[in-house]
Amino acid sequence: MTARLIDGNKISAELRKNIQEKVAHRVALGLRPPGLAVVLVGADPASAVYVSKKVKACAEVGFISHKIVLNGAISQAELIEQVEKLNHDSSIDGILVQLPLPDHLDVSQVLETIRADKDVDCFHPYNIGRLAQRIPQLRPCTPYGIMLMLQSIEQPVKGKHCVIVGASNIVGRPMALELLLEGATVTVCHKFTEDLAEHVARADILIVGVGIPHLVKGDWIKPGAIVIDVGINRLQNGKLTGDVEFDVACTRASWITPVPGGVGPMTVATLMQNTLLATEELHHEKE
């Protein structure tokens, strides 16, 4: 068996094109384009790259982006004040504070300060709570992007055994909620899980997001499984690789995401989709 690739670049391009067309239609009707504020605290190189990708995506779909770069030594009170200004700015539909933040800042307090209807990254307890209660509004970007990838290959989720490796607030936990919403049976594995290989081997759909290169061995994969690799790790030789042993996994899986070019582009595209939704559905800016 040779796995078929799930092309995140292609799927995300189609989604961005759809968003671009909707924004162009809004503007033609005399409505304002969506506005997204991206807050970068400090000078972390990886964070700067991610922010630049989001600003570029905004330009592509016709959003107005506001890039706000703050000194890494900023106080908690000053950062909260900056977020509150964005909360009260009617031209801003989405607020994104790029993580990680410097160690002296309280991440939870900052994220909870973002107005829930502008929380386009979907880290606010209100939005996660809506997903848990099966009434989602804004959706966590990476998990929702993965759900769109599964839809694109027309593979059913209902009734399938989905195994998630990694229980982070960004991927693992909301991913479990998205899969439950679609009727899957979900197992979440984490650093305290015993017999990881045994759990992985039972997965019809495997989603791995830990940040450890090749943590999941290819020969653990159930024949015919769908493998979604969220990890992106840079090796000493400069090459990017995922959390799954790709070459071997390809000989067992039916579908697999590449790294790079898999989940990453979907995360940015769903961020754009959330921002448009906030504009049209939550801020009464629909035609």
Q: Which positions are annotated as active-site residues?
A: 54, 98, 121
Q: Cα–Cα distance between 161 and 235 in angstroms, integer?
A: 32
